Chain A
Amino acid sequence: MAAEHTATIASHGDVATPGRGSGISRGMLAMIIFIGSEAMLFASFFAAYFMVRYNIADNDWPPVKDIATGERFEPPVVLTGVNTLFLVFSSFTVWFAEHRLKHGDRKGLERGLLVTMFLGLTFLVVQINEYVHLGFTPQDKAFGAAFYTLTGFHGLHVFVGLCLLLICYLRVKRAHDFTPQWSTPLNAASLYWHFVDVVWVFLYVVVYLI
């Protein structure tokens, strides 16, 4: 009896089946909603950042770190700018990986994923290096807190994105997963990766540039 039930279920409930009327698979839909939720997490930190920023007397930004020396907080714009390019480029490589799969080129898919992960890892390493040489800590004024919280949470999301890509890579290598017709987990991971990039671009512009 139980076996009969499950058999009926399986034919209806496959994750790859597009949802009724939406033309989008459940996995992708879930990822989109999840990204919305993540975006709100960043929104809460950006809100905190802006409130702190516009609270500073006579809008003196970036604020003075040490009144005695008059030294200001100065995040490294150029180095991080280059780093930003790495991350933006990785969005293209992951798109490329998906694209190769659509053409049935599994080697291309693997290479695309590897390059993406390499770029992402480079970004993280450069970011950590930046932390070490910044010259201010999270404890330095509210600016330090907001700066480290924003970049730190972003770094954490890059790390999560890397894990998702790694899982996809492992699935490709070990389980020969994903076909040109069905690759929901891969598409979801890649969408998440794009999201992490977009957040970074926004963050870079807001926190470093203006």
Chain B
Amino acid sequence: MATHAPTHAHTEHGHGHHAPPKPLWYWWKRAIVWTISGAIAGIALVYFFRLVFGMDPLWQPQAYYAAITMFAGMGFVIGIGCFDWWWAYLRGKRVDFEDHSLHGAKSWRDYLRPNTDHKVIGIQYMVATFSFFVVGGLLAELVRLELAQPGMQFADAETYNGYFSAHATIMIFGFVIPSFAGLANYVLPVMIGAKDMAFPRLNALSFWLLLPAGVMLAVAPFVGSFSSGWTAYPPLSVQGTTGQTLFECAVQFAGASSIATALNFLVTIMTMRAPGMTVWRMPLLVWANATTSGLVVFGTPFIAGSQFMTFFDRVVGTNFFNAANGGDVIMYQHVFWFYSHPAVYIMMLPGFGIISEVVSTFARKPIFGYRAVAFSTVAIALLGFGVWAHHMFVSGMASWLRIPMMITTIVIAVPTGVKIFSWLGTIWNGKIHLKTPMIWALGFIFTFVIGGLSGVFLGTLTSDIALTDTYFVVAHIHYVFFGGSVFTIFAGTYYWFPKMTGKMYSETLGKWHFWLTFVGFNGTFFPQHWLGALGMPRRVADYDERFADMNLIVSISSLGMVIGTAIFFYNMIYSWKKGAPAPWNPWRGRSLEWLVSSPPSLFNFDAEPQVVGGPYQYGIPGARHAVVYAGDHLGGGELTETEKRTILVVANRTIASSGLLDQVRAKAAEGFWRFTLVVPAKGEDHRAAERRLQIALAVLAEAGIDASGTVEDLSPLEAVKRVQEEEPAHEIFLATLPLAESAWMRQDMVDRIRKASGLAVTRVTVLGDDARTAVRSGAVRRVAVIANDTIGDAGLVAALRSRADEQPLGVVILCPLSLDSPGCSDDADRARDEATVRTRALIEQLQDSGIQAAGEVVDGDPGAAAKIARTDYGVDTVLVASYRRSTGWVVGQVRAAVGDTAVEHVVVDTEAPAAPSGA
């Protein structure tokens, strides 16, 4: 029996053999079943353990809660399908290491289950973490509501503690850390020229581990005291109950998630860079994330360790932190801060990376001191492991540690300063474009400098002794976290929004968002410096009367951020659905993500890109960062937005049909196509062909699709050849009527064109009705013509033709028949038949002139017809056609019937050329 490496497995089990995808609810049902089973298994396991080891009491609720939480969380992740592949692997099944059956999203449903595409995961992260941001923000508003006045308002001390603890924890573990992971997930692989992350399945797992963590944290404050803040110091955290258990479990899940992501980033950056992407050509965002990932991988286990220990003390009854039994409370703080100080840089370095990208792009200048910035990133990370005890100056730790830790702390300000000067140097004399991402970046620099300065006060032992545990620290952390990290997240979200969604956001709303947030932010947190200096302690629900005024200002200012955030969400959601299509490179950026379509294609690059220079060479003539090539199916060669590949769309009668235009639209969504519409009209009415072409072009232009067109007095074959001489094409769409009605099909046109052109020909079949009736599009003016005796008059046709030449029209002919005699007499029938014949003849005449038309005979007066025009056909304009001798009362009647729809009067004159009167 031959052995085989996975590469063979791949060829043997090619793609397309996968079972049909199961519906979404199948996965969620499975997830629910697994979650519940997990909880039950947790209970059983703890019970079994306690029984076997004779532990007393058998019923220790916290042990059970912990087991339920952990096992239910794991059950969810398994049930939703994150482990299916690995399960098959360990059972010895043949598996495909390059299994891409879960890659890419076709509809919103694919976002609601594990997906291995880094772009989908990036969006999953962003949506989930911004939801957590809302939860955390609401908790913050509860805190501010309680603090708006001195005295106890609506929450008792315990509840209040629960609010701010959950607020901080959700913001840190549920929002800031993972949303950086989300942004980087989307753009980082593209930036280094990779098709995906190194371990796509692990990547999916990371995201799905985060969800249980977020849910646990959101539930925690409501199930019993969770009052020790995000730092969870013992002995308070050891005394906590269920909420504390949830916190500890949540930290483990979030920690595992971020370690897995960080590992993935590291391997991706180390092994998957495109040819030519040396480390000194990596964008600074990549540097930042590589360094951050190192911090996560080596730091996060320490918080895991610290939470295990508090958990054992509380639930198992160990004595890590019980001084009476040889334990040591200060030890917790050392272990915790050994992670959590680096963690503040985990939450800042990726933001630094984002700001470098944004500032350079919008100042149109190379990064000032690129290498210095890269080195300073690494320096911050390394030094960051040596400053943890600055959080413990007054904790009673060994006093000899104080001075060294103070010095290292102040030293860290140096590499941080390097970055600030790099941004300022980049902006200096730049050609600054104040787009929303840039405004956020500038706002960030302003607030972050303030946060850094207050950090120096706190890092200096002598002043920290006075300031620690006051609102000064709260001001500091918010200037660095909100004014720092969160501002960079907003900058990054706006910056890459066009890339991620393929849509543009609203600049106006983005600026409103910024200014409201910026003013609200400074109003909220700047006064807290004073409050702290005056001695208002942090983490207390009540305070002295003398702080009342300033606290009220603070609480009111915080509403500015709430309104700003609401605008942000509106902008994002609305623009995602309805925004204008985004070009490939709206900011004229240089790095690789801007050289591919928005959003990038399924695997980002169809051929390996080649990196040839640094990423920030703005303003340097001839400099390039990278060359992106088109895939073989596009004919190879360099791929740029301006050099899109051309598809010839060959059609005559069907050119303006919704069937064909939909097909073109779907193709255009792939990003790299432009379209040349060719209408071969040999021996046919040219004006008619021209009118149809105009409709098609108008519809495509409105959808933001790059298209042009020509009418040729040639056969289809000759027309294709002629157009091909002028511009190289890569594919052909041939649209025809169904087989029976199509002369081209009878002439075997598909095959002949394929042979003559040497290109792939896709046949698009269009039903006759589809081709004849008007396409629904904002670009086509829908016009109802109310006429009776003028129907059949050449003058009316001429009038409509000349209008159609001015503007794409879709016409509805309505022939009102006001019969005096009862509706079912022979006379009436005859009149109706006669009107129908005339109307039909007119419609055909119009269609032959290239005007899409439909119509009917209406029982009733012109007013009734006008109502139908408005309600059933939804027309933009009503034309009332009559001979000169008719009176204006008909027009009046129609006007009255249609309200604010435009009504015009066409005077048909058999002799004179028709012209609309001003009536």
Quick one: which of B251-304 are within 8 Å of A by CB? 259, 263-264, 266-267, 270-273, 275, 297-302, 304
Residue among A20, A40, A181 facing the most chain B CB atoms (10 A cut-off): A40
In the complex the two chains form, is B98's CB within 8 Å of A9's CB? Answer: yes
- Interface flag for B429 (CB, 8 Å): no
* Shortest Cβ distance from B336 into A: residue: A44
In the complex the two chains form, is A142's CB within 8 Å of B301's CB? Answer: no
Contacting residues, chain A, for B721 (C-beta < 8 A): none
- Which of B66-74, B209-217, B485-493, B601-609 lies on the face that meets chain A? B601-609
- Interface flag for A175 (CB, 8 Å): yes
In the complex the two chains form, is A1's CB within 8 Å of B316's CB? Answer: no
* Shortest Cβ distance from A169 into B: residue: B92
- Interface flag for B547 (CB, 8 Å): no
In the complex the two chains form, is B199's CB within 8 Å of A30's CB? Answer: yes
In the complex the two chains form, is A30's CB within 8 Å of B198's CB? Answer: yes
- Which of B151-159, B325-333, B614-622, B673-681 lies on the face that meets chain A? B325-333
A104 to chain B, nearest CB (A): 9
Compute how far the CA of A19 lies from the CA of B199 in the bound complex, rounded to whole angstroms: 13
- Interface flag for A10 (CB, 8 Å): yes
In the complex the two chains form, is A6's CB within 8 Å of B5's CB? Answer: no
- Interface flag for A133 (CB, 8 Å): no
With contacts A20-B273, A40-B301, A174-B91 known, is A142 near B603, CB below 8 A? no
With beta carbons under 8 angstroms apart, the residue of B271, B319, B335 that contacts A47 is B335
Compute how far the CA of A8 lies from the CA of B631 in the bound complex, rounded to whole angstroms: 9
* Shortest Cβ distance from A19 into B: residue: B271
Quick one: which of A25-83 are within 8 Å of B by CB? 26, 29-30, 33-34, 36-38, 40-41, 43-45, 47-48, 51-52, 55-56, 63
For chain B, the count of residues having a C-beta within 8 Å of the partner chain is 71
- Interface flag for A171 (CB, 8 Å): yes
Contacting residues, chain A, for B263 (C-beta < 8 A): 30, 33-34, 37
Contacting residues, chain A, for B335 (C-beta < 8 A): 44, 47-48
In the complex the two chains form, is B267's CB within 8 Å of A5's CB? Answer: no
B332 to chain A, nearest CB (A): 8
In the complex the two chains form, is A44's CB within 8 Å of B199's CB? Answer: no
Residue among B7, B606, B633 facing the most chain A CB atoms (10 A cut-off): B7
With contacts A9-B100, A33-B263, A182-B6 known, is A44 near B328, CB below 8 A? no
Contacting residues, chain B, for A30 (C-beta < 8 A): 198-199, 263-264, 267
Contacting residues, chain B, for A8 (C-beta < 8 A): 603, 606-607, 631
- Interface flag for B822 (CB, 8 Å): no
B333 to chain A, nearest CB (A): 10
In the complex the two chains form, is B309's CB within 8 Å of A55's CB? Answer: no
In the complex the two chains form, is B3's CB within 8 Å of A149's CB? Answer: no
With beta carbons under 8 angstroms apart, the residue of B91, B94, B608 that contacts A12 is B608
- Interface flag for B59 (CB, 8 Å): no
With beta carbons under 8 angstroms apart, the residue of B4, B10, B301, B631 that contacts A38 is B301
Contacting residues, chain A, for B309 (C-beta < 8 A): 48, 145, 149
With contacts A142-B325, A146-B320, A177-B3 known, is A5 near B93, CB below 8 A? no
Interface residues of A (CB under 8 A from B): 1-6, 8-10, 12-16, 18-20, 22, 26, 29-30, 33-34, 36-38, 40-41, 43-45, 47-48, 51-52, 55-56, 63, 106, 138-146, 148-149, 167, 170-171, 173-179, 181-182
Interface residues of B (CB under 8 A from A): 1-7, 10, 15-16, 89-94, 97-98, 100, 103, 195-196, 198-199, 259, 263-264, 266-267, 270-273, 275, 297-302, 304-306, 308-309, 312-313, 316-320, 322, 325-328, 330-331, 334-335, 338, 601-603, 606-608, 631-633
